[in-house]
Amino acid sequence: MAKSQESFDLVDLKLKVSGRGDRLFFGFSSVAAYFAFSLVFLIVIFLGNASFSTFKTQGLAFFTGSTWDDAAGVYQIFPMLVGSVLCSILGLLISAPISIAIAYFIEFMAPPRLAKALTNIVDLLAALPSIVIAIWGAFVFAPVAAQWAQIINNKLGFIPGLQNTSGTFVGSPFIAGWILAIMMTPIITSVCREIIGSVDKDLVSAALALGGTRFSTMRRVVIPTARGGITGGILLGLGRGLGETIAVLYVLNLVFIVNFNILENYGGSVAPMIAAYYGESSEVGVSALLAAGVALFLITLFVNLIAQIFVGRYEKKMAS
Amino acid sequence: MTTETLRLVTPETPWRVRSKSQLVYIFIASTLPAALTFLIADQMKLAGLIALTIVFLPLQLLAASLAALITVGKRGILDAILTVSVLFLMLTMGFLLGSVALSLVQKGFKALSFHAIYQNSFYVTSVTSLEYGGLGHALVGTLVIVGIAVIFAVPIGIAVGVFLTETQSRMRGSVRFLSQAMTGLPSIVSGLFVFAFLYLTGWVQRSAILGSVALFLLMLPTIIRLSEEVLKLVPQELRYAALALGAPRHKAFFQVIFPAARSGIITTCLLGTARVIGETAPLIVLVTYLPSTNFNPLSGDMASMPTYIYSWLKFSTDLANQRAWGGALALMILVGVLFTLARFFGRKRF
Amino acid sequence: MESLNPISSNSFGADVHLSTKDVHVWFGQRHVLEGVNLEFPVNSVTALIGPSGCGKSTFIRTLNRMHELIPNAKLAGEVLLKGQNIYAVGVDPIQVRINIGMVFQKPNPFPTMTIRGNVLSGLRLSGKHSRNEDELVENSLQAASLWNEVKDRLDSPAGSLSGGQQQRLCIARALALAPDVLLMDEPCSALDPGSTIRIEETIRSISKNMTVVIVTHNMQQAQRVSEQTAFFLAEDNNPGYVVEAGLTNDIFHNPKDKRTEDYVSGRFG
C-alpha cells in the first residue's frame, strides 16, 4: 500500500511543469516533436504542389503509360515503377535469406565474441555509402555478374523471365538486384537479429529439452514466434531498395520499356531515373520528376508504415 | 577431503569430444567437397560464385548430410543442411563485401597520398598526373555541409527524444510512428523536397545550405530513435531523485539526466553522421560540384566527398577513375573512423 | 565418504536407474558444484533442497545435458542412466533429452501453438512418431490432470490457460515423449497455492511409474511430495556440494549434520 502511494507521488512529480525555464524547455521539445510529426505532410504538400501541373496535364497515364519525352511534353513512368518493384523483389530474394542466416548465426551459432564482432560489422555496413557500392558495382561487380547472367541464360534461357534477346548482359535488373541486396542486407539483418534475439530464451530451452534439434527448434519455435517481426524487417529492406538511387544508377540501363526479363540488358527504377534525368530536363520536365518523387515517396512511406506496424506489433507482443 | 578432489578433477567439455571415426567423417565432409569443386571448376573452367553455387553447395550439402547421417543419425541431416546453408549464405555476402573492401584498397590506394588530403582539384583535368591535386576541397565541403546538418539535427532530434521520454503527451505515439516512418525516406526524395520547398519557392538561392537541409532531414529520424533509446536507459530513480530535491524539470534534465546519457548521445551523433556522410543523391540534385575550395555554405557551389567521386566517374580516363576510387576509399575510411569513435563512446554506457 | 553416497539401492529397496558419480560443474573458471554423488531409484521422487545459489538448478540441468548449452559450461564426472554414462562419446544428447524430460521454473508453453500442438510438440521437435496422436494427447493430459479442464478446447491457443494450467500443460508436453525420468526445476515457484497443490498431486501420481527429480526451495513441498531428499549448500563463494542426502523423513526429522538441521528448521536460507 505504501509503495503504490509513493509511485503515485512520483508520477505527479513527473507531470509537473513549473516556472519559465520548464515552460521554455518543454515548449522547445514540443515544437521539435510537432515539427518531426508534420514533416511527412510537409513533404507531400510541397512536392505535390510543385508537381501538381504534371498530374493535371498527364492524368492517370503518368502512372500507366510508358513514354518519357521531354521535348513532346509526355511524361509517363510505368516501366520505372515496374522496374523498381522487380529489382527490389530480386534484391529481397537474395538478401532476405542471407540476412536471416546472418541473424540466426549471430544469435544461435556464433560464440559470444564473434557474435559481437559480426553485429558491429552489420551496423557499420548500414552506413556503407551507396556511391561506394556504385563504383564497385560498375567497375568490379557488373562484368562478373554479366558472366553469371550469361551462364544462367545459356542453361535456363527457355524459362520465361530468364530470356535475353540483345546478347549483352550488362545493365540488367539481375545485376541491379544483387546491388540492392547488398544495400538491403544490413537493415534486414539488424532488425531480424533483434527480433530473433528477443524470442524468449525459455521457449528455446523448452524446445531443446523436448529433444528438439537445431533445425526443428528454429522451424517450430523460433520462426513461428518471430514471424511478424521478420516480415517487418523484410519490408523495411524493401523500402530501402525502392529508394536506392546512386548504386542502381550505375549498374542499370534505364529504358522506358516495360521489361520482366531479369537478364535483359535494360530495366527501370524510379529513384535512379530521377537522378539521371534531373540535370538535363526542362522546367516542365523537372516538375514531372518531382511528380515521380511524390509517387516514390508515397510508395516507400506505405511500405515503411506497414513495416513499422509489423515490428511494433511484435514488440508489443514480446513485452506482454 | 574436498580440497583433495578439487585437485584431482579438471574441468572438461565431454560434449565436444569426438570419437576417432567421427573425426574422420567430419574431416572428409569438410575437405572433400572443396577439393572436388576445385577439380571440377578447373576442368570446366567455372569461376567464382558460379562454381561455389552450382558445384560446391550441392556437394557440401550432400557430404554434410551423409556425415550427419552416419555420426548422429537421421535427425542430424536437417541440422547439417541448416548449418551448411547458413554458412554458405554468409560466405556469399562475405565474398561480395570482401571484394568491395579489396577493390577499394587496391584501386583507391594509389590516388591517396598526403598531398591529396589537403590540395584541391582546381587545375586538375582527367589526364592530370596523380602527383597533383587532391580532395581537400571535397573534405572541407563535406565537413561544412554535414556539419551544419548535424548542428541542427542533434538538438532538434534530442528535443524530440525528450518529448518522447520525459513528457506524458498523448501525441507521443503518433510522433514516434511518423518520425520513424521517415527513416525510410529515400534520399533522392529528400533532395527533391528541399528543391521544391526552399529553391523553387525562391526562399534560398542555390548553395550548399540546401544540401545541409536535405541531410538534416535524412539524419533526423536516426537521431530521434537513438536519443530516445539512450534517454530511456537513464535509470528512473536518478530522475526521481533529482525531481524529489525540488529541482525544476529542465534543470534536472541538464544537470542530471543529460550528463548521465552523455556518452550515449555522443554515439548517437556520430552514428547519425556516419549514416549521412556518404549520401550522394540529394547533393547531386541540390549542390553543384566545384573543383576548388569554398567555405561559405550560403553562396556559391561546393564540393563534397560523394560528389567528388561522382564528378570523376563522368570521365573515362584511367587517372580520373583512380581519383574516383581514391575518393571512395577516403570516404569509407571517414565512415569507419566515425563508426569506431561511436563504438568507443558507446562502450561506456551505464 | 559415506555421507556423500547415502541413497543406495539396498537402503531404499528399489532399482537405481539414474545416478551421478563425482559430478563437478564449472562456468568458465568458476567452480560451482563439486563431487555430487546421488542415486535416484526407479519410480520415486527425489527433492533437491538448499538455499538459492547452491547449484541445485545447475545440477539438475546436468542430468539431461541441458547444461552444455550454456557458453563456457564445463563438467567432470559421470551421469549414469541405466548404467550408461550419458556424457560418453557417441551418446546423442537429443536421445538423452527425450529419455529425461524437463519442466521449467516458469510455465513456458509455446505461444504459437494450440493446447494439442503443445502436447505433441515433443514429437514434432524430436522427429518421433506416434500411431495414435489423439490417444497420446488424451493420455498425456490425463496424466498431468489437465484433461477434464481442456478436453473441449484442445484447439485454442496455449496462452488462454491460467498459470497453473500452463504448467500442467508443460508437464503433459514432457510426458508425451514417455520419458524414464522427469526433472522439475522449481515447478511451483511462479504459481499460487491452489495450483501448487494440483501440481503436487500430479507429481505424486506420475511418480507411480516414473522417476522424478524436483528442485524446490519450499521445504513443506519437499516433505509432501518426495521419498528422499538431498540438501545442497554453497559457502562463501566456494562450490556447492551435497551436505546430506537420504530418506526425506530422516533429513527433516533426524538429520545427521548440524547444517542440515539448521536449514530444515529454518535457521538460515
Structural domain contains residue C45: yes
- Helix and strand counts by DSSP (H, E) for chain A: 14, 2
Please report which confidence band the pLDDT of residue B115 belongs to, taking 50, 70 and 90 as the band edges. confident
Residue C64 lies in a domain: yes
Residue B35 has pLDDT above 80, yes or no: yes
* Interface with B, mutate which of A23, A135, A148 (most B CBs under 10 A): A135
Higher pLDDT, C267 or A58: A58
Average pLDDT over residues B240-268: 86
Of A145-154, A256-265, B204-213, the poorest mean pLDDT is in: A145-154
Nearest-CA distance from A96 to chain B in Å?
A: 10
Average pLDDT of the segment spanning C185-209:
92
Query: What's the mean pLDDT in B286-304?
Result: 91
Residue A21 has pLDDT above 90, yes or no: no
Q: What is the mean pLDDT of residues A234-250?
A: 95
B274 Cα to chain C: minimum distance (Å): 34
Distance of alpha carbon C208 from alpha carbon C45, whole angstroms: 9
Task: Please state the domain count of chain C.
Answer: 1
Assess if residue C43 is contained within a domain: yes
User: Is A29 within 8 Å of B159 when comparing Cβ atoms?
Assistant: yes
How much is the pLDDT for A269? 96
Q: Sorting pLDDT into bands at 50, 70 and 90, what band is B182?
A: confident
Main-chain dihedrals φ then ψ at residue A122, nearest 5 degrees: -60, -45
Query: Quick one: pLDDT band at residue A294, thresholds 50, 70, 90?
Result: very high
Q: Which of A60-64, A175-179, B41-45, B264-268 has the lowest mean pLDDT?
A: B41-45
* Spatial CA neighbour of B177 closest among A294, A228, A36: A36
Looking at the predicted structure, is the pLDDT value of residue C6 above 80? no
Pick the CATH number of B136-346 from 3.50.50.60, 1.10.10.60, 1.10.3720.10, 2.102.10.10: 1.10.3720.10
Q: Which residues of B61-98 are buried (b: 16+ CB within 10 A; e: fewer)?
A: bbbbbebbeebbeebbbbbbbbbbbbbbbbbbbeebbe
Per-residue confidence (pLDDT) for residue A15, from 0 to 100? 60
Q: What does the pLDDT read at residue B238? A: 85
pLDDT of residue A3: 41
Query: Across chain C, what does the average pLDDT equal?
Result: 90
CATH 1.10.3720.10 domain position(s) in chain B: 136-346
pLDDT band at B344; cut points 50, 70, 90: confident
With a cut of 60, say whether residue B83 has pLDDT above it.
yes
CATH number at residue C90: 3.40.50.300
Give the model confidence (pLDDT) of C74-86 as tens digits. 999 999 998 899 9
pLDDT band at B1 (very low <50, low <70, confident <90, very high): very low
How confident is the model over A271-281, as pLDDT tens digits? 999 999 988 88
pLDDT exceeds 60 at position B199: yes
* Average pLDDT of span B86-111: 93
Decide if pLDDT at C53 tops 90. no
Alpha-carbon torsion (B82, B85, B91, B92), positive or negative: negative
Least reliable range by pLDDT among A50-59, B265-274, C4-13, C60-69: C4-13
Contacts of residue B250 in chain A, CB cutoff 8 Å?
21-22, 24-26
- Taking all residues of chain B, what is their mean pLDDT, rounded to a whole number? 89
A200 interfacial to chain C (CB closer than 8 Å) = yes
**For residues A258-273, average pLDDT:** 95
pLDDT at B350: 40
Q: Does C229 reside within a domain?
A: yes
Between CA A108 and CA C71 the distance in angstroms is 11
Sequence-ordered list of residues with C-beta below 8 angstroms from that of A201, at least 6 positions apart, any chain: none
What's the helix, strand, coil split of chain B in %, to 5? 75, 0, 25
Domain that holds residue C244: 2-113+182-264
Q: For residue A5, what pLDDT band results from cuts at 50, 70 and 90?
A: very low
A44 lies within 8 A of chain C by CB: no
pLDDT-wise least confident of A158-162, C198-202, C265-269: C265-269
Interface of B with C in 7-26 (CB under 8 A): 9-15, 17-19, 22
Residue A308, burial from CB neighbour count under 10 angstroms (0-12, 13-18, 19+) = buried
| The pLDDT of residue C14 | 57
Long-range CB contacts (< 8 A, 24+ apart) of A302-306? A303/A235, A303/A238, A303/A239, A303/A242, A303/B184, A304/A235, A304/A236, A304/A239, A304/B181, A304/B183, A304/B184, A305/B177, A305/B181, A306/A232, A306/A235
A319 at interface of B, judged by CB pairs closer than 8 A = no
C-alpha to C-alpha distances, B5 to B333, C35, C76, nearest whole angstrom: 56, 7, 11
Average pLDDT in the B312-337 region? Answer: 94
Nearest CA in chain A to B156: A32
B78 with A49: Cβ contact below 8 A: no
pTM confidence score: 0.90
Do the domain assignments include residue C167? no
Question: Nearest residue on chain C to A221, judged by CA atoms?
Answer: C110
Tell me if C42 is assigned to some domain. Answer: yes
CA distance A196 to chain C (A): 15
Cell numbers for C180, please give them: 524414464
pLDDT tens string C99-133: 999 999 999 999 999 999 999 999 999 988 888 99
ipTM score of complex: 0.90
Least confident piece of the model among A92-106, A130-144, A191-205, B113-127? B113-127
Residue B236: pLDDT band (50, 70, 90) is confident
How many whole angstroms separate alpha carbon C45 and alpha carbon A157?
68
Judge whether residue A65 has pLDDT over 70.
Answer: yes
Domains of chain A (ranges; CATH) run: 66-319 (1.10.3720.10)
Res C39 pLDDT > 70: yes
pLDDT over 70 at A14, yes or no = no
Inter-residue contact B182 to A308 (CB < 8 Å) = no
- Out of B139-153, B243-257, C248-262, pick the least confident: B243-257
